[in-house]
Amino acid sequence: MHQLNISGLEPFAKELQTASNYAVLAPQDNIVIEFSLQIVNESCAGNIFIASAQIESFFELPSSTNLITAYENNQVHSFSFSAQNKDFGIKELVKKMLSELSIYSEITESLVFIHLSTMQLESIKEPEVEQLMEYFTKFTKRTNATLLLLVSGPEVVKYRFLIRRLNKLFDGSVFIDNDAAIRTIDYDYWRHSTGILANEQYQLVFKHNKLIAKQAIGNEVEKPGSKNFFDEDDVWLVQNAVPEGTKLPAHYRIVDDNKDLYKKGPRIEAATLVFSVTRYTDLKQLATHCFELRKHCGRWLKLVIQNVDGIIRHQDECLFLTLGVNLILYSFSEPSRLLSQIQSIQGFQFSRPLPPSVEHVLQYTENTFSKGYLPFIEFTRQVEIHSNSAVNLGVSGVLVKLELLPRIDPIHPLHLFHIKREGDLLSVAENTIYLYLHACRENDVDNAIKHLFKLEISDFFVQQNLMSEHFYIQQECKQLRRFYKDKSVIDYSEQLTENNSYEFAPSFINNSAIDIDSPELVITERADATPIVMKLRM
């Protein structure tokens, strides 16, 4: 019998029975694939069948080592199918695929992974999805196999509720998600040898290429009204968070700066702390202080960030919210509006799961330091890394495809792009320029391009296409990498290298062969000029 090799899970949460179907749902491909790879252990003795349109992804992840070993031992049988099959729909495709798998003698009591995307399932209606699930049930009863249906895509929540209703056809259903930098797994239901596990949640941590589970912090949230706090109405705020001379209510107290406010934290249980951000504020240090206060004081403490004259970018917003901040005020508010916004969060507790440490979150920001032009294949890899980091931080990202007008050489518009922000990447393949904007919302793309490209876009490009869902961005990168794998793509790196010939390079020059008597090296001295006094005639 197979089982999930995830330490920290209860034994009955690991069980995988034969002749059973299990559904694993997640918004990203790599999340469902990493989870499924935890079933493949080092001493895997049975056969494994994999069917997916993204078959390469099963062998490219850090946790693929055991699967690769099993593949070298001829235990893995992989099948790839097109994501856009024009001959027949997904229902007919799955039916034919299961018929083909049934022919193999190794299929008996084997482990079967079938990976589908929500894009493939959206072409059929709900009753047809139910028929599709019935195919899986008949297949596992006939072959005595353990089947995991892996479903990923932006619309995965819709299929989560559908599979909940189809609990007679499935023996278990789990939903895995990234809430900012925290990965959680929700057991909707899970049949095991002694009963049924339902509505359980665990927090997953990825260490040494393995998933480790612990009881999710979200399960520890207390019920409203379970405690009465003496300081719940108190508000402590930094002096420059409100205009000078502002008259504040009795429960409001002023401190000089963020450091003084941080020192008040350990003696507070449910009060509201309002920090201020100026252009001189160290955002990383402030985020660390907010996380420490949240850990020490608990979930009833309210943390507010007031932007005075600083610049809180999208990635900074997500960092603060991930590390325990309740509310961010993005512009300097009127005092009356500030008071009402603070009042709106009083009486509520912080309900989002917290990461294990600040470093755990900051590691995803370190993956986005590259910027500018990259060779195309390297560009697709870096965009995947940036996109994955953005998913873990809860940050947006946009992939822009700009198709060139006929007879325009790509090098000319490439020279006109001026990328200064870390995380923004650029490349070109054939007649299309690809631009990835990290920590950028879809609504802000036009303004961002105006800052990067100084001329009119319509003068160089015939059309502009956007992708803002990280699932589709990562899918596009994988498909482009496969398409251009054996093709020659022009690399413009050398042509785009800045001209630095004007810079002085101090290097040793050999002067031994120079003729010091040559005219150009002879120094001629002359007498000083005689001053002449000039007078103006009247």
Sign of the Cα torsion 36, 40, 45, 50 reads: positive
How far apart (Å, rounded) are the C-alpha atoms in residues 162 and 122?
A: 13
Mean pLDDT across the stretch 177-190? 85
Name the nearest CA neighbour of 449 among 401, 491, 493.
401
DSSP character at residue 261: H
**Predicted confidence (pLDDT) at residue 499 exceeds the cutoff of 60:** no
- The answer to whether the CB of 485 falls within 8 A of the CB of 380 is no
Select the more confidently predicted residue: 225 or 148.
148
DSSP class of residue 473 equals H
Determine if residue 208 is left, alpha or beta; phi over 0 gives left, psi from -120 to 50 gives alpha, anything else beta. Answer: left
Q: Which two tokens stand for residue 316?
A: 């900074």
Which residue is it, tokens 């006094």? 533
Pair of tokens at residue 408: 């325009």
User: In sequence order, which residues have a C-beta less than 8 Å from that of residue 390 and are 6 or more positions away?
Assistant: 368, 396, 397, 438, 439, 470
**DSSP state for residue 86 in the 8-state scheme:** S
Residue 368 has pLDDT above 90, yes or no: no
**Residue closest to 94 by CA, chosen among 149, 27, 144:** 149
Closest among 38, 26, 9 to 111, alpha carbons compared: 38
Average pLDDT over residues 405-423: 90
Asked if 24 contacts 38 with a C-beta cutoff of 8 angstroms, the reply is no
Q: Encoding tokens for residue 238?
A: 């930094």
**What's the pLDDT tens digit per position in 61-91?**
888 999 999 999 999 999 988 755 555 688 8
- 217, pLDDT greater than 60: no
pLDDT digits (tens, 9 = 90+) for 332-354: 667 888 888 999 998 889 988 88
Residue 4 has pLDDT above 70, yes or no: yes
State pTM to two decimals.
Answer: 0.75
Helix (H) or strand (E) holding 415: helix 411-416
Residue 310 near residue 277 (C-beta atoms within 8 A): yes
Other residues' Cβ atoms within 10 Å of the Cβ of residue 294: 20
Say which residues have a Cβ less than 8 Å from residue 464's Cβ, sequence separation at least 6.
400, 401, 402, 403, 457
Distance of alpha carbon 294 from alpha carbon 37, whole angstroms: 34
- Report the mean per-residue pLDDT for the chain: 86
Euclidean distance between CA atoms 458 and 431, whole angstroms? 15
For residue 218, what pLDDT is reported? 47
Q: For position 502, what pLDDT does the model report? A: 44
CB-side exposure of 480: number of CA atoms within 13 Å? Answer: 26
Which position has the token pair 């949240």? 294
Give mean pLDDT, residues 267-283: 91
Q: What was the pLDDT predicted at 523?
A: 64
CB burial of residue 135 (10 Å; 0-12, 13-18, 19+): middle
Question: What is the per-residue pLDDT for 434?
Answer: 96
Q: Which domains does the chain have, with CATH numbers?
A: 11-215 (3.40.50.300), 235-356 (3.40.50), 367-490 (3.30.70)
